[in-house]
Structure 1
Amino acid sequence: MKSWEQFKELQLDVLKEIGNIGAGNAATALSQLLQKTIDMKVPNVKILSFDDITDYVGGAEQVVVTVFLKIEGEISGNMFFILQEGAAKRLLSSLIGDTGEEGLTEIEFSALQEIGNILTGSYLSALADLTKLNIQPSVPAVAIDMAAAILSYGLIELGRVGDYALVIDNTFLDVGESEADQNINGQFFLLPDPESFSKLFSALGVPFHE
């Protein structure tokens, strides 16, 4: 029997592959939407306990913009795409220009929902292709609040969750712009229901054991 650490290494390799495929598909779709070249990178992939998510995005009181949805089909669970507020405004500025307002306008909420559709769809398609599982997302919702409130509200809306989250970091970079000015960082959190976690990794050929 392999150890948990060995399983973890295999799982992270698989998640990295899923992340890179999803990022490539999302970058292509966003480039078409924005009519400009967008590059996406996946610098880091992790498995976190649910309790560590708020710390990972900057703490319980960090204000974040979140796209969240429920996953249904042969596996079930929840997905969150989380950006800090400043990063979200810069990403939206690339799509619809700067509104000059501090909060998110109705147009920006709609644009963020569309971006969330593209991003989550790209990652879930990559996951479905590699697992051969039927995975269907619900219509995404958008919220802005402190991280702890977002996660609590999202999980109440979406339903129960397991103990672990699959985390895929994302960096968006406008090609041709200054990297220091244009990097936009966000995180995907995939939280399978308890019975779906082992099913997901078994389909990927790397069974999950604690």
Structure 2
Amino acid sequence: MNLDVQSLRTFSRLARSGAEQAAGSLSTLTGFDARVAVTKVEMATRSDVEREFRERDLVTVHVDFSGAIEGRTVLAFDRERAVTLVDALVPGEDADPDSELATSGLKELGNIMLGGFIDGWADFLGEAIDITTPTYVELDAGRSLQDVAADSSFDPGDGSGADISPGDEFGAGLDTDHVLAFRNHLETIDAEAGFYIYMLPTHDSVGTIVDAAGEGDEAIPVETFTSFSRMISDGADQASEDLTAMTGITTDVDVSRLSFVPVEGVPMELTNDARQGVVLEFSGTPSGYIAILFDPDSAASVADALMPGMEADSAMRQSAIQEIGNIVTSGFLDGWANALETTIEISPPTYVDDIASAIVDPLVTELARTQDYAFLIDSAIVTPDETFTCDIYALPDERELREAFDQLAPEPN
């Protein structure tokens, strides 16, 4: 099965259209003025997607679908938001949001929202898509989805279940550790934290959608996307090792994934919290921009690890962060260069101190001159004791990334 950028654009438009339908249903049912903030098409490992659900205090409603395409949709919202929803749907039940009446209200909300989301895909394909009865799932913080799935009450054959991707058929290609997910962030006027809709189609269903979208002349085997996703992880691993060697602080790669996002949506994917770090430009195959960002406490920790006793000297701290950013970027991109058998040049690092979305916005503006969508590559490097967290965001040029994909494509049989 092959994917092309046109197919990804079609996927993104359909996912956004479905999310807008769901947002309309949410507004009608609850009175909340909801809108779609960001729609992403993600290539990620199952563990990364599941970690996002596991580490947040989320409640979710799952609906399976079958017919023209098959898979699972998940509506997720913060527990605090769930309580607000219960009060709007079933007045008086917010005091006991886990009651049968309250959860029934949330399931019905999920049924209507996710049903509307799937209807858009059915209209596009011109065929019927059936959905199952919604299942309400409450995930305890720290309890993995695998733990929930292993619960004696879980029956993987009943079409409900707690795992967002309950079988190898949800793999996005030959590498079944990866999934192709459609992720939509909905928000309300009074709160940035809102609702998330995930759609995880089966591998065969992705092929069905691709066929309907029409493959272009420059289609890319889906295995290439998974190869590139692995390359991102390998680069983050190398950056982690270099950072450990440089600072003496053991680090781990927490998340690495490749997303396809409308250009204007990239800054909205990033936090509005303060960040310090560096921005660099890289050139070769591919070219683009990369930002290495720390929260202020993390920046102080890594700078002190590199230059002990210099925390009072802002110029020296800035120099330390620039050096760390340079080393991390080199490690991250050297793995790419090795995998692609090419050379990637890196510009001197520019120190930045602002909110993350504002830091990335000028980079996005530059890319928007030549493309409407962006491939956003994000990784997080963390320490086991949370001494610091390092976020890596890369924005490659779409055309040159295509050349990189060509070099990773498997040889034809």
TM over 0.5: yes
Q: What does residue 341 of structure 2 align with?
A: 132
Residue of 249, 252, 260 corresponding to 1:40: 252
Which amino acid is 1:169 matched to? S
Q: CA deviation at 1:193?
A: 1.8
State TM-score, norm by structure 1. 0.75
Cα distance in 2, alignment partners of residues 141 and 157 from structure 1: 16
Cα distance in 1, alignment partners of residues 260 and 367 from structure 2: 19
8 Å CA contact 1:42–1:171 kept in 2: the answer is yes
Residue of 383, 400, 405 corresponding to 1:196: 400
Alpha-carbon distance change, 119 to 145 in structure 1, aligned in 2, over 3 angstroms: same
Aligned CA-pair RMSD: 3.1
Which amino acid is 2:316 matched to? I
Which amino acid is 2:351 matched to? V
Which amino acid is 1:147 matched to? A
Which amino acid is 1:172 matched to? V
Q: What does residue 302 of structure 2 align with?
A: 91
Q: What does residue 106 of structure 1 align with?
A: 315
8 Å CA contact 1:165–1:189 kept in 2: the answer is no
Cα distance in 1, alignment partners of residues 260 and 354 from structure 2: 22
Alpha-carbon distance change, 144 to 158 in structure 1, aligned in 2, over 3 angstroms: farther
Cα distance in 1, alignment partners of residues 380 and 328 from structure 2: 10
Q: What does residue 143 of structure 2 align with?
A: none
1:123 aligns with 2:335: no
Q: CA deviation at 1:100?
A: 5.5
Matches within 5 A, 1:138-177: 138-154=347-363, 162=371, 163-173=373-383
1:22 aligns with 2:228: no
Q: What does residue 80 of structure 1 align with?
A: 291
8 Å CA contact 1:117–1:140 kept in 2: the answer is yes
For residues 55-75 of structure 1, what are the alpha-carbon distances to aligned partners after superposition, in whole Å with 9 as ceiling and x for unaligned?
33313xx22113111111243
Structure number with the bigger relative contact order (C-alpha 8 A, sep ≥ 6) is 1
Cα distance in 2, alignment partners of residues 58 and 96 from structure 1: 28
Cα distance in 2, alignment partners of residues 111 and 187 from structure 1: 17
| Unaligned ranges ≥5, structure 1 | 174-178
8 Å CA contact 1:161–1:191 kept in 2: the answer is no
Q: What does residue 185 of structure 1 align with?
A: 389
| Unaligned ranges ≥5, structure 2 | 9-40, 42-171, 174-179, 181-221
Which amino acid is 1:2 matched to? N
Matches within 5 A, 1:44-83: 44-49=256-261, 50-59=263-272, 62-83=273-294
Secondary structure in 1 matching 2:255: coil
Q: CA deviation at 1:87?
A: 2.5
For residues 131-186 of structure 1, what are the alpha-carbon distances to aligned partners after superposition, in whole Å with 9 as ceiling and x for unaligned?
1122111111111012343223456789957421332322232xxxxx3442x223
Which has the higher mean CA deviation after the structures are superposed, 14-23 or 108-117? Answer: 14-23
Which has the higher mean CA deviation after the structures are superposed, 136-145 or 161-170? Answer: 161-170
Q: What does residue 176 of structure 1 align with?
A: none
Larger radius of gyration: 2
Which amino acid is 1:64 matched to? R
8 Å CA contact 1:68–1:154 kept in 2: the answer is no
Which amino acid is 1:140 matched to? P
For residues 105-141 of structure 1, what are the alpha-carbon distances to aligned partners after superposition, in whole Å with 9 as ceiling and x for unaligned?
1111111111111110011110011111221111111
Which amino acid is 2:331 matched to? S
Secondary structure in 2 matching 1:38: coil
8 Å CA contact 1:42–1:169 kept in 2: the answer is yes
8 Å CA contact 1:131–1:203 kept in 2: the answer is yes
Cα distance in 1, alignment partners of residues 281 and 386 from structure 2: 33
8 Å CA contact 1:16–1:42 kept in 2: the answer is no
8 Å CA contact 1:73–1:135 kept in 2: the answer is yes
How many matched pairs? 195
8 Å CA contact 1:65–1:144 kept in 2: the answer is yes
Alpha-carbon distance change, 126 to 138 in structure 1, aligned in 2, over 3 angstroms: same
Alpha-carbon distance change, 52 to 87 in structure 1, aligned in 2, over 3 angstroms: farther
